[in-house]
Chain A
Amino acid sequence: MTATATAPAKKASSRRVKQGGLSEVRAGWFTKVLLGLLVVMWTVPTLGTIITSFRTLDDANTSGWWEVFYKPEYWSRLTFDNYIDAWNGAGASSANFGASFLNSLAIALPATFIPILIAAFAAYTFTFMEFKGREVLFILIVSLLVVPNFVAFIPLQNIYNNLEFVGFPKVWLAHIGFGMSLAIFILRNFMTTLPRSVIESAKIDGASHYGIFYRLILPMSVPALAAFAIFQFLWVWNDLMVALVFLGPGENEPVTVALTSLKGQLGQGWNLTTAGGILSMLVPVTVFLVLQRYFVRGLTAGAVKG
C-alpha cells in the first residue's frame, strides 16, 4: 500500500518483539479474558469443521459436533472415510479432490513463479535506470493496483475463444497479467531501499546492467521476491472467480471450484465438503505458517490487489 506509512512497520515486524508501543503496561485479567475469548471465537468454527470431517453423515446430520466432547458413543464412529472418499471422488459426489489438488498446484505454481522474473526486470529498470516517461509509466502501475481484475473477463474470453485456447495456460496467463502490477510495485519499493553505492561501484568495475541484475540485485531482493511469491501463491490457490470463469467445473477444476460444486450438492455428499475443505486448506495454511515472516514483510511492504 503506502510505502512511507508502513516503512517503520517493516523494520519493526522483522525481528524485535518488545520495545516501543504499550509494552510497559502488563495485561490485566480483563485483557487476558478478552483475548482468550477472541481466540476461542476465532478457532471454534474451524475446530467444528475438523471434528465434523471425522464424523459419519448420520452423526453429523443428527447431532452437533460439540456433542462429541461429552457423548462417548460418538467416539467409536469417528472415521477417516470422508477423507478417503473426498480424495478418490467416491460416493454421491463427482468431485475428486486428489485430481483437483494437482490441478490447483498446476495452476498456482507457474502462475506464481513466471511473473516474478518479468516483474523483477521491470522493477530493476524503474529503480536503477533513467529513461523518459519513467514516472508516468510507474504511476500507471500504481493506479492499476486498484482496478478490479474482472474487467478482463469478457474481453479475454473472446480472445481465448478466437485463439482456441484451452486448459491451464488460460489461467496462468491471466494470473500473470493480474499479478504483474502488484509484483512490480512491491519489488520496486524494496529495490529503492537497496544501497546505491554497491550498484555504482559495480558499474565502475565495468559490470553490465544484466550482470548487476543477476549477480547483485536478484540475490539481495530475495525477501521481497519471497514475499510476493507467497502472496501470489495464496491468492491463486484460493482464487475462485478466475477459475470459475476460465476453467469452470470439470477435469481442470482446482480445489476451490471442486469444493463449491460439492457444497451445492445437499443431502448425500455434503459430509465430504468438510474433509474436502480441510484438504483444500492444508497447503495454503502450511505455506503461510512456515513462511509467515516473509508474508508479513510483504504485507507491510505494501499490498493491494486489484
Chain B
Amino acid sequence: MLLKSGTVLVTVAIGIAGAIALFWALNKLAELLPSKWEHRLKPYLLILPAYLAISLYLLYPTIVTVINSFKDRTSDQWVGFTNYADLFTDKAFQSTLFNTVLWVIIVPAVTIIVGLAVAALTDRLPSKSEKFVKTMIFVPMAISMVGAATVWRFVYAYQPAGETQTGLLNAVWTSGGAEPVPWLNTSTFRLNTLLLMVILLWAQVGYAMVLLSAAIKSVPAETLEAARVDGAEERQVFFSVILPQIKGTIIAVGVTVTIGVMKIFDIVYTNTNGQFNTNVLANDFINELTTNFNYGAASAIVVILMIAVIPIMIYQVRNFKEQEAAA
C-alpha cells in the first residue's frame, strides 16, 4: 500500500515535470528556427501535444469504429450493413432504443423543471437557508452512479409478501395493506425505467439548479421592478420577465443534460444491467463489447449514438460561432 501511494506521487510528479520539459523542448526547438519560421511554427508546436492526445483518443478511434461497424464480430470480414440490419430487426434492441429515447425525452425536461423550481423558490429564502437547501440538493452530484445505486437500493428493495420490507418505497406501499412490488423488475408502463430515471434526477437536478439560479440572480432588478410597478403578479413576473431572459441558460442546461442522458450507462448497469426491459444504448454497447465480444455490433451501436449526437454538435458549433462573432 505504501509502495502504491509512493508510485502515485512519483507518477504525478513525473507527469507534470514531463509536460513542462516537453513544452520547454518544443519552445527551444522553435527558437532554433530562423525568426520568421519561429513565429509561424510556434503556435502549432504548442498545440501539438493536445492535438496528439485528441487525435489518438477521439479522432482515430472514431474512424476505426465507423469502419468496424461494417465488419464482422472479430473485425476480419466486411459484412456491409449486416450489423445495423441485425440490430434494427432485433426486438430486444428496439426496446433498448425505445428506452434510450424515453430517457432523452423525459430526463432533460424534468431536470430543468425541477431545477428551475428549486432555483426560483430558494431565491425567496433567507440567504443561509438558501445555501443549505441548495447544498443538500447539489451534493448527490459528487456521488458516483455506483454509489447512487447503493443508496437507492434502500428505497427500491423488495422482500416477498409477509416478510418485513427493508425498502422504504415498499414499506410505505405495503403500510396501506397493498402487496409489495419488485419495483426494478416491473416493466409495466416502463415503471422500472422511470424509477431508474428518478435516481439520475436525484443526482443531477442540483446541476441544473445551480446554473439556473445563477442566471435568475443575474436578471437585472430594473426589469422586475418595472413589471411590478405595472401591476404584474409574481407568477407573471416569473413567466414573462425572468423566463425569457434566462432562456439561453435553460437551453444550455438542456443540451448538456441531453448529451449526458444519451450516454447513460452506470445507473442501468449497476441496478439491472439492462434486464427487465431497462436496457439502454450505452449498456448494450458494453455488453456487446465485454460479454459477447461482438465488435461489429458494439461499433454499430456507437455509430448510431454518434449519428444521434450530430444535430447537437452542429447546434453547438453554430452557437459558438455566433458568440465569437458577437464578442
Q: Do A and B come from one complex?
A: yes
B144 touches which one: A34, A150, A238, A300 (CB < 8 A)? Answer: A238
Q: Which one of A40-48, A73-81, A220-228 is at the interface?
A: A40-48
Chain B residue, CB-CB nearest to A46: B151
A306 at the interface (CB under 8 A from B): yes
B158 at the interface (CB under 8 A from A): no
Report the Cα distance A51→B320, complex, angstroms: 48
- Given A3-B323, A60-B166, A118-B19; A259-B150 close (CB under 8 Å): yes
The reply to whether A245 and B255 contact each other, CB–CB distance below 8 Å, is no
A216 at the interface (CB under 8 A from B): no
The reply to whether B327 and A192 contact each other, CB–CB distance below 8 Å, is yes
Q: Which one of B5-13, B99-107, B180-188 is at the interface?
A: B5-13
What are 7 A-B interface contacts by the 8 Å CB criterion? A5-B249, A39-B136, A46-B151, A154-B75, A184-B50, A259-B147, A285-B142
- Chain B hits for A103, CB < 8 A: 4
B154 at the interface (CB under 8 A from A): yes
The reply to whether A131 and B154 contact each other, CB–CB distance below 8 Å, is no
A174 at the interface (CB under 8 A from B): yes
B95 at the interface (CB under 8 A from A): no
- Given A21-B242, A139-B320; A106-B4 close (CB under 8 Å): yes
Chain A residue, CB-CB nearest to B118: A38
Q: Which of B46-81 contact A (CB under 8 A)?
A: 46-47, 49-51, 53-54, 56-62, 64-65, 68, 75
- Given A26-B124, A102-B4, A131-B43; A300-B137 close (CB under 8 Å): no
Provide the B104-124 mask, 1 if CB < 8 A to any CB of A, else 0. 000000000000001011111
- Given A27-B125, A151-B306; A259-B289 close (CB under 8 Å): no
- Given A21-B216, A42-B140, A131-B43; A49-B20 close (CB under 8 Å): no
The reply to whether A305 and B260 contact each other, CB–CB distance below 8 Å, is yes
The reply to whether A122 and B58 contact each other, CB–CB distance below 8 Å, is no
Provide the A140-154 mask, 1 if CB < 8 A to any CB of B, else 0. 111111111111111
The reply to whether A117 and B16 contact each other, CB–CB distance below 8 Å, is yes
B270 at the interface (CB under 8 A from A): yes
Chain A residue, CB-CB nearest to B321: A139
- Given A6-B252, A110-B11; A147-B309 close (CB under 8 Å): yes
Q: Which of A133-178 contact B (CB under 8 A)?
A: 134-135, 137, 139-156, 168, 172-174, 176-178
- Chain B hits for A49, CB < 8 A: 150-151, 153-154
Q: List A residues at the B interface (Cβ < 8 Å).
A: 1-6, 8-13, 16-27, 31-32, 34-35, 38-39, 42-46, 48-49, 52, 60-66, 98-99, 102-103, 105-106, 109-110, 113-115, 117-119, 121-122, 124-126, 129-131, 134-135, 137, 139-156, 168, 172-174, 176-178, 180-181, 184, 192, 209-210, 234, 237-241, 244-245, 255-256, 259-260, 263, 273-274, 276-277, 280-281, 284-285, 287-289, 292, 296, 299-300, 302-306
The reply to whether A124 and B270 contact each other, CB–CB distance below 8 Å, is no
Say what secondary structure dominates the interface of chain A. Answer: helix
Shortest Cβ gap from B69 to chain A (Å): 10
The reply to whether B56 and A177 contact each other, CB–CB distance below 8 Å, is yes
Contacts A22-B224, A121-B49, A142-B320 aside, 16 further interface pairs with beta carbons under 8 A come to A4-B326, A9-B211, A13-B210, A23-B124, A25-B234, A45-B155, A63-B166, A118-B50, A129-B42, A148-B306, A154-B299, A192-B327, A256-B146, A273-B150, A288-B139, A288-B142
